Amino acid sequence: MTRNIFSLLLLLSLGQRSMAQKKEIAWSDYVNPLIGTAISTTESALRHSQDGSELRGQTFPAVGVPNGMTSWTPQTRATERKCVAPYYYEDQKIQGFRGSHWLSGSCTQDYGSFTIMPIARKLETDPDKRASSYTHSTEQAKPYSYRVKLADYNIQTAMTGLSHSAMFNFSFNDEKDAWICIEPNSDQGKGFVQIDVSKNEITGYNPVHRIYQGQGKPAGFNGYFVIVFDRSFESYGTWNGTQIKHQSVNEKSTGSAVGAFVKLPLSKGKLIKVKVGCSFTSIAQARKNLAAEIQDWDFKALEQKVAAQWNVELAKVQVEGTENEKVNFYTALYHTKLLPREVSDVDGSYNAFAASGKVEQAKGFKYYDDYSLWDTYRSLHPLQLLLEPSKTEDMVTSLLKKAEQGGWLPIFPCWNNYTSAMIGDHAIAMIGDALVKGIARKDAEKLYQVMRKNAFQVNNDALSYKDGRGRRALGSYLKYGYIPQEDGVPDAFHTKEQVSRTLEYAYDDYVLAQVAKLLGKKEDYQLLMKRAGNYKNVFDTSTGYVRGRYADGKWVVPFDPFAIRSSFITEGSAFQYSWYVPHDVPGLMALMGGEKRVVKQLDLLFDKRHYWHGNEPGHQSAYLYAYAGMPWKTQRQVKNIIKEEYSMAPGGLSGNEDAGQMSAWLVFGMMGFYPVCPGTPDYIIGTPSFSKVSLSLANGKTFTITAPGLSDSNFYIQKAVLNGQVMNQAKLTYKDLQRGGALVLFMGNTPNQQWGN
């Protein structure tokens, strides 16, 4: 009897331990930050890319916390030049470890960055000459830390970091001189460094410059840093260009690279520890940020703290599937949590928008920047809104502050300035989606007014317009109901592209109309809804495709809808962009000739490889089959895209990752539903990749999706049951998710053409 009781107690204990272990899954260990750091291997990227940067995911192994100010990364290329990421997988040498503000997955710029490099033996300051070989077998990349052995120096390195701070461990394994070099990465040669021997400290800054509108102009702020060592210096100095100055304590560049170096004694131990604080407002704030975030020298404890933050964030979506599927999924989810970045200090200080020179105070919110909105409004922001509405509210508030401080709602705000980098006016889409779904309602009227100004008011101030303020080519759009070929849109980074602009403005007007309706602004609503139909003005029904059009109504000739590039289309073909009417798919189908014609054209898009997943305007295309009564074809194409366009390899992304958008598509795709039209409450059901998905929502509810019978061949939905009720539509709503509950999708290996049609 006693033995039986003991056995029962043992079983209960093991069961409780098993449950505890299940709750403590280290979701961050499924993340592989090296995915997307190499040249893409997917067929669509090879077929449709036009230059080298488009062939890359442009990600980097970013260490830090979700949406943190600074990401900490190994550096293989010593430049902040446009379209050059800090790290590429194929590069064979590491030049140092960078405090970076690279827009993950982009073709933009790093800015305000600085690099730390440990060196054994002889001092070398040039990044290429000081670089050390390494092997990927010694590389351990995680969201919360990065480790690698610098083979040429026999130095084992490790780094971990929070939003405004980091810690490095450098283990010098040989009895050699131990040097550490610090370099502000200013391509313009404008950096500054200063050594304080009494504090074992190096401080400095790297001035930020603009690209796109405002090319080359100062952005009005610097990337400041404070670096503290765990021991006193044996010797020290600075460099300016090729000139090395021993015992010099400061250096300000007048056009060449500058930096500082210290020699550290190994008598106190071969493990040298370094702490870093950073800020965009001042060196003093960088020091305060460091003191607030890291109080001691316990690297392991800090690493665990960072890992815990990632695990909390990633655990908001818990999936059951194969190990490889989890790696792809959680790596994608990690990529969606890098941008926009927090740019306010720990105490809320931040630089006012648009280079005013003022320092503002964020009260009750965090101030964010680096919004790649042409990309991210599509699914990254809808995903964030679903999982982290409070963070979305802070990001909306940040956009409102930018509009108030700069005079106009920015279109693509980066490095805390206007850019007009891409087309569209998608701050409206992001903000409108939040308002429609109940987020940021306290500022609804203010937000509506700044959005309305962009949509209705032509900026006639030539200087501020050239600087990026105001909707591009709005005058032509209002006059003609489309942007004609005669308007070359000169004051933009992407000139011309008139058809794509018309399509995207029509969508933005639709979203703004929904906000107008919400606020009871009937006249605006009716006018904006009429403008939302402007897509019809660039759709040539005689060919069945969108097409460039002149002011007199004539169409551009010659015309090839399948041409990989056309001057009136943004980064793609007219065929690809013909599907970009997310707000009125029934209207689009009518223009195309009805459901059968639409299905035939979608088949042509996918079967003949005209679809390019690496460019965002087509991200909703696979889900349009559901509108034509064939959701089973959506299921097939989503399954194919996930299989063909994503992998666990370093080249496993099919084009620029674009600040998390490519990954957000995968997160939604693998969960089994997608927001075709942000600004509305609807999601279209695709096909799940997991037998179970659990969404932990901010309101305390849980929404689960289970897929009985799911396998690699059983990806077709046979029947759906939502909260015990049979559901025969391929659609979920935001309210469905927010209520919590369960969606059961019964899967099979052949299409059920009756379900959801």
HEC readout, 400-433: HHHHHHHCCCCCCCECCECCCCCCCCCHHHHHHH
What pLDDT was estimated at residue 76? 98
Mean pLDDT (whole number) for 6-28: 52
- The 10s digit of each residue's pLDDT in 108-136 is 999 999 999 999 999 999 999 999 999 99
DSSP letter, residue 667: H
How does the average pLDDT of the chain come out, rounded? 95
- CA separation for the pair 115, 73 (Å, rounded): 9
3 state DSSP class of 245: strand
Instruction: Evaluate whether 115 touches 98 at the Cβ level (below 8 Å).
Output: yes
Residues with Cβ within 8 Å of 682's Cβ and at least 6 positions away in sequence, in order, are 675, 676, 731, 732, 733, 734
- CA separation for the pair 603, 356 (Å, rounded): 52
What pLDDT was estimated at residue 17? 39
DSSP letter, residue 231: S
Instruction: Evaluate whether 207 touches 222 at the Cβ level (below 8 Å).
Output: yes
What pLDDT was estimated at residue 54? 83
Q: Which amino acid is at 307?
A: A
What pLDDT was estimated at residue 660? 98
Is the dihedral angle over the CA atoms 419, 422, 424, 430 positive or is it negative? negative
First to last CA, the chain: 62
Instruction: Evaluate whether 470 touches 459 at the Cβ level (below 8 Å).
Output: yes
What pLDDT was estimated at residue 49? 79
| Top-confidence residue, 392 or 25 | 392
Is the pLDDT at 22 greater than 60? The verdict is no
Please give the helix or strand (H or E) that residue 11 lies within, else none. Answer: helix 2-23
- CA separation for the pair 412, 427 (Å, rounded): 8
Res. 23 pLDDT band, cuts 50 70 90: low
Res. 206 pLDDT band, cuts 50 70 90: very high
Res. 43 pLDDT band, cuts 50 70 90: confident
- CA separation for the pair 427, 452 (Å, rounded): 11
Percent of the chain surpassing pLDDT 70 = 97
- The 10s digit of each residue's pLDDT in 580-635 is 999 999 999 999 999 999 999 999 999 999 999 988 999 999 999 999 999 999 99
What is the CA 674 to chain-centroid distance, rounded?
17
Instruction: Evaluate whether 72 touches 99 at the Cβ level (below 8 Å).
Output: yes
Res. 48 pLDDT band, cuts 50 70 90: confident
| Top-confidence residue, 52 or 626 | 626
HEC readout, 486-498: CCCCCCCCCCCCH
Which tokens in the block code for residue 531? 């403008």
Q: Model-level pTM?
A: 0.96
Mean pLDDT (whole number) for 247-262: 96
> Angle CA(109)–CA(115)–CA(117) in degrees, nearest 5?
145
What is the CA 3 to chain-centroid distance, rounded?
58
Length of the chain measured in residues: 757
Domains of the chain from N-terminus onward: 70-302 (2.70.98.10)
Backbone φ, ψ for residue 201 (5° rounding): -140, 145
Mean pLDDT (whole number) for 17-28: 63
- The 10s digit of each residue's pLDDT in 726-746 is 999 999 999 999 999 999 999
Is the pLDDT at 9 greater than 60? The verdict is no
Residues with Cβ within 8 Å of 679's Cβ and at least 6 positions away in sequence, in order, are 429, 432, 433, 436, 510, 511, 514, 583
Instruction: Evaluate whether 730 touches 634 at the Cβ level (below 8 Å).
Output: yes
Residue by residue, DSSP assigns 540-552 as: ETTTTEE--B-TT
What pLDDT was estimated at residue 366? 98
- CA separation for the pair 435, 446 (Å, rounded): 12
DSSP letter, residue 368: E
Is the pLDDT at 106 greater than 80? The verdict is yes
Res. 320 pLDDT band, cuts 50 70 90: very high
Residue by residue, DSSP assigns 571-634 as: SS-HHHHTT--TT-HHHHHHHHTSHHHHHHHHHHHHHTT---TTSGGGTTGGGGGGGGT-HHHH
What pLDDT was estimated at residue 47? 81
- CA separation for the pair 703, 135 (Å, rounded): 43
- The 10s digit of each residue's pLDDT in 340-398 is 999 999 999 999 999 989 999 999 999 999 999 999 999 999 999 999 999 999 999 99
The stretches of 686-741 forming alpha helices (DSSP H) are 734-738
What pLDDT was estimated at residue 528? 99
Is the pLDDT at 14 greater than 60? The verdict is no
* Helix count and strand count (H, E) for the chain: 21, 33
Res. 3 pLDDT band, cuts 50 70 90: very low
- The 10s digit of each residue's pLDDT in 681-728 is 999 999 999 999 999 999 999 999 999 999 999 999 999 999 999 999
